[in-house]
């Protein structure tokens, strides 16, 4: 799970495994495999970094 910030400053935790794509249009839009779209304040690169960190945590936990 990663935490992101909606445009109204509310925090939202989403399942990183459900992210299909992230676009900057100029706002950052996260499209999930469920078809839902979430507009967030974080940049595309920040989302990528959060997902990478999440994946590293999961892999290290399993060792």
Please give the residue range of the domain that contains residue 54: 2-61
| Contact criterion met (CB below 8 Å) for 21 and 33 | no
Q: Is the model's pLDDT at 62 over the cut of 80?
A: no
Residue 63 pLDDT grade (very low, low, confident, very high; cuts 50, 70, 90) = low
Kindly report, residue by residue over 23-60, the tens digit of the pLDDT: 999 999 999 999 999 999 999 999 999 999 999 998 88
CA distance 6 to 30: 11
pTM confidence score: 0.88
Cα separation values, 5 from 12, 20, 28, 58, Å: 6, 18, 11, 22
Overall number of domains in the chain: 1
CA distance 36 to 40: 13
């Amino acid at each position: 799970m990663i935490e992101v910030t909606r445009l109204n400053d509310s925090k939202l935790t989403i399942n990183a495994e459900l992210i299909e794509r992230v676009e900057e249009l100029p706002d950052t839009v996260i499209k999930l495999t469920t078809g839902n779209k979430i507009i967030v304040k974080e940049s595309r690169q920040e989302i990528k970094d959060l997902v990478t960190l999440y994946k590293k945590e999961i892999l290290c936990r399993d060792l």
